[in-house]
Chain A
Amino acid sequence: MDNESLVLRCRLGDRAALTELVRAWHEPVLTYVRRMLGPGRADDVTQEVWVAVVRGLPRLKDPARFAPWLFTIARRAVATRLRAEYGEAALDAGAEPPAVPDGTEAVLDRAELFDGLAALPPREREILVLFYLEDLSLEDCAEICGIPLGTAKSRLHRARGLLRGQLEEKP
């Protein structure tokens, strides 16, 4: 069953569909939260995300936009946790730093991403996780992060550059 039908069945009150929805999306949510916060805090935040998802599901207007909606909720939960730990500038505030030169698009594979991600700042880590690990479109990434498409593009560009720097520093 496709995602949109699943969401519609959930909104009707079909509990079996809700179970299917969790099975389909738990792993992507957990991956995102784990990459953003580390494994130690991922479980708590993932639970918070799912409670918010279930509570908000009856009010979701467009079932086709479920994935960006879900990751927006996850992002909010992650941002709240980061703010509590590192202050306001963790994920949202602050101007975009300038982009760095990037010529490595083709050579990034998933294993390298996993290794280098943890050392990146949260905003750059986030866009890489959403784009590469969750396979979301750049439009969806921009919507989830609450930024214009152009900003998302430059942030992704800069994040790749930073990641390349991280990987090159490794022996």
Chain B
Amino acid sequence: MKDDEIIALVRAESSPWRRLRGTVALLGGLVGGTFLITLWATEPGPLPDRTRLVFALLALICAGWTAFGAWSVLGPRPLFALDGLVAGWLALAASLATTAVTVTVAADRGTGLAVAIAAGALFIGASAAITVRAHLRFRKIVRELARHRD
């Protein structure tokens, strides 16, 4: 077996695109699901059965994408420091955008504002913590590398 075959295998295994796809699926599912549930929860009047069924089906699809994304991101594939950093910032940007939209919708409709703010705060807090942790990890390795080169 030659070096090049192993290098191809290692590159495929460590490809950042697989992780990125998983991150996009996870965020898409979470953001879409949150937006959908906000819309549903802030409806001013009772909805027809058919509309409720469609909302439920769409929420289920979002949950499916969330589960698939979580499996891709948390699976055994390697998460290097730079990948973690990119994933953290993506999560933070998606959380901020989702919170802005859901809070605007809730305020516009006059119901569910507190729930939208609480859910948004939870998302932003979690993604900020992930991003800070990723930064610390990245900086620690950079420092180690600099110390080692000196």
Contact = CB atoms under 8 A, between A and B. Distances in A.
Interface of A: 2, 4-5, 8-15, 18-19, 22-23, 26-27, 30, 42-43, 46-47, 50-51, 54-58, 63
A15 B134 CA distance: 18
Given A5-B145, A18-B14, A58-B79, A12 B138 contact: yes
A12 B81 contact: yes
B52 interface: no
Contact of B144 (A8, A23, A50): A8
A54 B79 CA distance: 10
A55 B9 CA distance: 12
Interface residues of B, number: 25
A5 B10 CA distance: 19
Nearest to A46: B1
A77 to B, nearest CB: 14
Contacts of A43: 1
Contacts of A27: 3
Contacts of B16: 13
B76 interface: yes
**Which label, helix, strand, loop or mixed, suits the secondary structure of the A interface?**
helix
Given A5-B145, A5-B148, A8-B148, A15 B11 contact: yes
Nearest to B138: A12
Given A8-B145, A12-B142, A54 B14 contact: yes
Contacts of A12: 80-82, 138, 141-142, 145
B145 A15 contact: no
Nearest to A9: B145
Interface in B6-28: 6-7, 9-11, 13-14, 16
Contacts of B79: 58
Contacts of A4: 148
B109 interface: no
B9 A51 contact: yes
B50 interface: no
B78 A19 contact: no
Given A12-B80, A18-B11, A54-B78, A23 B145 contact: no
A13 B9 contact: no
B82 A22 contact: no
Given A55-B76, A58-B79, A50 B138 contact: no
B7 A19 contact: yes
Contacts of A15: 11, 14
A4 B141 CA distance: 11
B23 to A, nearest CB: 14
A18 B78 CA distance: 12
A42 to B, nearest CB: 7
21 contacts: A2-B148, A8-B144, A8-B148, A11-B81, A12-B81, A12-B145, A13-B81, A18-B10, A18-B11, A19-B7, A22-B6, A22-B7, A23-B7, A26-B3, A26-B6, A50-B10, A54-B78, A55-B13, A56-B78, A57-B78, A57-B80
